[in-house]
Amino acid sequence: MNITVQTGQLGATESDAIVVNLFQGTTNPTGATGSINQPLGGAISRLIATGDFTGRPNQTAVLYPLPDHDIKAPRVILVGLGKRDDFTLDKARQASATAARRARDLGVKRLATIVHGAGTGSVDPTRAAQALAEGAILGLYRFDELKSRAASSTSGEDDDSKKEIQELIVVELDESKLPDLEAGVHRGRLLAESQTFARSLVNRPGNILPPVALAEATQKMADQIGLQFEALDPNQMERLGMGALLGVAAGSDQPARFIILEHNPEGSENQKPVVLCGKGITFDTGGISIKPNEGMWQMKDDMGGGAAVIGALRALALLGSKQRTIGLVPAVENMPSGKAIRPGDVLRAMDGQTIEVISTDAEGRLVLADALAYGQRYEPQAMLDVATLTGGVITALGHGAAGVMANDPNVVERLKRAADATGEKVWELPLWDDEYKRAIRSDIADMKNTGGGRAASAIAGGMLLKQFAKKVPWAHLDIAGMAWTDADTPYKPKGATGYGVRLLAEYASGYAG
Ligand code: BES
Ligand code: ZN
Ligand code: ZN
């Protein structure tokens, strides 16, 4: 989809449909909506007066101008923004997605729209344009690369899978705003496309995207955009002493890869980098501590943290971020077999610390232990890890926020600020040594990989990772509830969400200058 920005009257724009919006409680539409209401003979006012349209968030209505209505498009799509006082950039993202999806359903190819919220004075026009582009791209995303034939050939219904919006035209009356809107659209496009890139990595099942394929897809992307890429093979990991990662890899016939992405902007040679580590379990059966069958298929999303890191590095490189940033993704398949590690085994991580494996299903912290240990060589100014680590975080926070655990309040503060900007929510859980270190105390090794019980299992995961962050300001994001959705909300269609891409990019670029 092409996105262009132009000045002019929305009603005079050649397109298959135009989008206008309405705040809840508005009785007399003004601005762009008013300027369309008038030639429509007050049709929007009547929609409001009858109570048929209230303007609640993501409500839509479609109106059909007559030839003498002086509106170039054959359709007007009206989208609700909710109450004016509750308006946020996330509402703009949602409205944009809702309108774009409605337009696509109607078979629209050229869609013209105003920038939602740009006229409110409460949000910055550049940010509003960014949210518009993000909402449209994220909302229209479909994962169809594994479908060999169109849905209609079996159902006989409209072939919706062929419908596609080719052009989104952003229309603004005030010419002086154009550079800002263009900058926002550009930023939004790069971020959202990096997020959809991550979504597609996560949506690919374990047979199609084992560790080697994940590394290859990452390399292809990195080569295209000029990002530095390297992938270590098992021999190289062996020489580095990555015994925790290799322990998890032992049960699988799929060779592991340790993916390293480096964004080294010009002049950043002496800059201490931000290091982002992402859990890259391409499929998690649980290993010898095997998971029950029900819902196991969804464990193809267990590289959601890794995909978020890869997507964030893509975005930072394309945006030309001034911040030196490193992405580390231990890519491993967790399988049971005669070569697999057993409960009770003790593994030695790269930094020499030993871990007693109580459950082979708590494998994410094992591969991330080696990633965090490897990250130390960069002497980072901050380090994050992002992982679909525990079912426990879903018990605590559901699908509303990622759990954040940290050894440094400043890192948490920065993450919260980034989350406010991107709409990807985080909520802090504690990592008090006095209360929780006992959860990982082992009788025979430096630590054990699970506390055994269900109590505070998300925190037990964080406590283990904390031992590998050492003195580096660090936070762990448990995104188990966020990487996947069954809900189908405006800019998060069912499936992989790509959670974390925009959050990590926003967070890392916050360290620049
Ligand atoms: N990948 C899972 C966590 C998970 C669960 C992600 C549900 C997404 C949805 C992880 O490797 C795991 O199995 N964790 C265990 C840890 C336990 C053995 C301490 C869990 O949460 O049950
Ligand atoms: Zn597991
Ligand atoms: Zn896992």
Q: Which ligand 1 atom minimizes the distance to the CA of 301?
A: 8
SS3 183: helix
Closest listed residue to residue 92, CA positions, set 70, 118, 59, 68 = 118
pLDDT for 161 equals 80
Report pLDDT digits (tens) over 193-226: 999 999 999 999 999 999 999 999 999 999 999 9
Q: Which residues contact 260 (CB under 8 A, 6 or more apart)?
A: 229, 230, 231, 232, 326, 327, 328
Amino acid making up residue 1: M
Q: Is the pLDDT of residue 305 over 60?
A: yes
pLDDT exceeds 60 at position 394: yes
Report, as an integer, the average pLDDT of 258-272: 96
CA of 366 to the centre of ligand 3 (A): 10
Q: CB burial class (10 A; 0-12, 13-18, 19+) of residue 154?
A: exposed
Which of 127, 365, 414, 502 is labelled catalytic? 365
pLDDT of residue 427: 98
Q: How far is CA 342 from CA 172, 315, 338, 360, 448, in A?
A: 63, 39, 10, 7, 13
Per-chain residues with Cβ under 5 A from ion ligand 3: 281, 284, 302, 364
pLDDT in tens, 16-44: 999 999 999 999 999 999 999 999 999 99
Q: Which is the catalytic residue, given 84, 291, 416, 425?
A: 291
What is the model's pLDDT at position 67? Answer: 83
Q: What is the model's pLDDT at position 87?
A: 95
CA 420 to chain centre: 14
Task: Grade residue 465 by pLDDT with cuts at 50, 70 and 90.
Answer: very high
Q: What is the mean pLDDT of residues 230-254?
A: 98
Ligand 1 atom nearest the C-alpha of 364 is 11
- Cα of 487 vs centre of ligand 3, distance in Å, is 22
pLDDT at 206: 98
The pLDDT assigned to 364 comes to: 98
Residue 158 has pLDDT above 80, yes or no: no
Q: Say whether 147 is catalytic.
A: no
Report pTM.
0.97
Per-residue pLDDT of 82-96, as tens digits, reads 999 999 999 999 999
Catalytic residue list contains 416: no
310 CA from centroid of ligand 3 (Å): 18
Give yes or no for a contact between 117 and 83, defined as CB atoms under 8 angstroms apart.
no
- CA-proximal residue: ligand 1, atom 13 (nearest): 361
Quick one: average pLDDT of 422-436? 98
Which residues have C-beta atoms less than 6 Å from ligand 1?
A: 284, 302, 359, 361-364, 388-392, 450, 457, 480
pLDDT of residue 149: 79
Half-sphere CA count of 53, side-chain side, radius 13 A? 25
Whether 73 contacts 97, CB under 8 Å: no
Residue 151 has pLDDT above 70, yes or no: no
**Closest-CA residue to 21 (of 128, 129, 99):** 99
Predicted pLDDT of residue 452: 64
Which ligand gives the minimal distance to the CA of 285?
2
Average pLDDT of 354-369?
98
Q: What is d(CA 117, CA 373) in angstroms, rounded to the nearest whole number?
A: 45
- Maximum alpha-carbon separation in the chain: 84
The percentage of residues in the chain with a pLDDT greater than 70, rounded to a whole number, is 98
Q: How confident is the model at residue 150 (pLDDT cuts 50, 70, 90)?
A: low
Ligand 2 mean position to 469 CA, how many Å?
21
Look over the chain and give the mean of its residue pLDDT values, rounded to a whole number.
96
Number of the ligand 1 atom closest to the C-alpha atom of 483: 8
Q: State the pLDDT confidence band at 451, using cuts at 50, 70 and 90.
A: confident
Helix, strand, or coil (residue 302): coil
Mean pLDDT of 407-436: 98
